[in-house]
Amino acid sequence: MKKLTLGLSALALSVSAATAQANCDAGEIVAKLSHVTGGTTHPKVVAANKLAERVNAEMNGTMCIEVYPNSTLFGDSKELEALLLGDVQILAPSLSKFGSYTSKFGVFDLPFIFKDMDAAMRFTNSDAGQDLLLAMEDVGFVGLGYWMSGMKYFSANKPLLKPSDAEGLKFRVQNSDVAKAMIAAMGGSPQPMAFKEVYGALQTGVVDGQENTWSNIYTKKFFEVQDSTTETSHQLLAYLFMTSQEFLDSMPKDAREQFIAIAKDVTNEANLSVKDKEANYRQSILDAGGKINTLDDAGRKAWVDAMKPVWKQFEDKIGADLIEAAANS
């Protein structure tokens, strides 16, 4: 019977990271699940650990998952390559990190395309959203589902009350052409950077600001090194829970089917609680002394007007039909 223990490397880097590191038994199919987030109730941490817990209990003797959080195995610049090389078997990268493999995922990054998380979930559950899970089949990537997280907000080393406050500031972004164009539309300078480098870059002034969810802003302590966060809700942060075709093909049929069934269940269950989790992290930021700037309707419209032209810029690459399907969700 396998036991769950704390991974030593993860423990060294973050004592608060809940890491379901299993002692896999000889003869089991071992899948390493690598991700970059931390904390104990972060939506991705919870989904990853639940997946490992279920597979390790229900497929004991057949399959075993080891979870490596907090970029302890691979950071987000290397993890997709590692999946293709077979050095890791399960990932959940942000949907913004697939630009080298497909331009279609740019739809998720278009500013203000989703009114809120409910609209984003309607889209990911729609036929168009489900088709995107297999948009990178030719590369060998298989999307097993979307792990949702939350809407994103801008923070900076000065209050961002209107878009022109961002002029001339350097913002860390994920490596996404849409995100870069969005920052440029605000008059800022986009600086693509791996997630694990963001705190240090904000602290030392390499960048002035960043955009993220409440869960990441709290668990990575970004709020401690920023003046405040503005509740823009300008973009979605969600993850592609994924594996490789090669890994799936290497599994016996029964094991593959059982794993996929558990994967679907865990995804559905995890997505039910993400809105509450994000709301709790928002409150935790306030409780810890972080400042949040709220926007009234007119204030929000100013951000929408500044960034909306980005849609047109990417219409050919993403596809007008896909943009329309997302926008009408």
Name the residues that contact ligand SIN, by CB under 6 A.
36-37, 76, 94, 174, 195, 212, 216, 237
Smallest distance, ligand SIN to C-beta of residue 212, A: 5
To ligand SIN, the closest distance from the beta carbon of 174 in angstroms equals 5
The DSSP result for 12-57, as a single string, is HH-TT----EE-PPTTSEEEEEE----SSS-HHHHHHHHHHHHHHH
For ligand SIN, the closer CB: 35 or 329 = 35
**Residue 111 CB, nearest distance to ligand SIN (Å)?**
15
Task: Output 174 or 229, the one with its CB closest to ligand SIN.
Answer: 174
Residue 189 and residue 277: Cα distance in Å, rounded? 31
Closest to ligand SIN by CB, 207 or 251: 207
Buried b / exposed e across 92-112, counting CB within 10 Å, b at 16+? bbbbbbbbebbbbbbbbbbbb
- Residue number with CB closer to ligand SIN (7 or 69): 69
Distance, CA of 315 to CA of 290 (rounded, Å): 37
Burial of 120 (0-12, 13-18, 19+ CB in 10 A): buried
Compute the least distance from the CB of residue 121 to ligand SIN, in Å: 17
Nearest-approach distance from CB 254 to ligand SIN, in angstroms: 32
Name the residue whose CB lies closest to ligand SIN. 195
Spell out the residues 6+ positions from residue 65 whose beta carbon is closer than 8 angstroms to its own.
20, 22, 30, 31, 32, 33, 51, 52, 55, 56, 90
Q: Which is nearer to ligand SIN, 76 or 177 (CB)?
A: 76
- The interaxial angle of helices 320-327 and 310-318, nearest 10 deg, is 120
Closer by beta carbon to ligand SIN, 63 or else 232: 232
Least distance (Å) between residue 96 CB and ligand SIN:
7
